[in-house]
Amino acid sequence: MGKVTPEARALVDATWDALDEGTRAGGGMALRPGMILAGEPMVNQATSEGAVLDE
């Protein structure tokens, strides 16, 4: 497995920042993969309204 360069890390971070900004602008909650809310892992199901929690 190769080493992640600072440039690659910066590109990934910038991409997530842009996605987070778009999510917040649409009224959603910005979450990155692996984040946990209220102690429970989140499983997202994409819908036409955005990402929602599976019940």
The pTM assigned to this predicted structure is 0.41
pLDDT (0 to 100) of residue 3: 85
Place of tokens 């499983």: 43
Q: What is the 3-state secondary structure (H, E, C) of the chain?
A: CCCCCHHHHHHHHHHHHHHHHHHHHCCCCCCCCCCEECCEECCEEEECCEEEECC
pLDDT score for 24: 67
Say what the pLDDT of residue 45 is. Answer: 47
Q: What confidence score (pLDDT) does residue 13 get? A: 86
List, run by run, the mean pLDDT of 10-residue segments along the chain (55 residues). Answer: 83 84 68 55 49 51
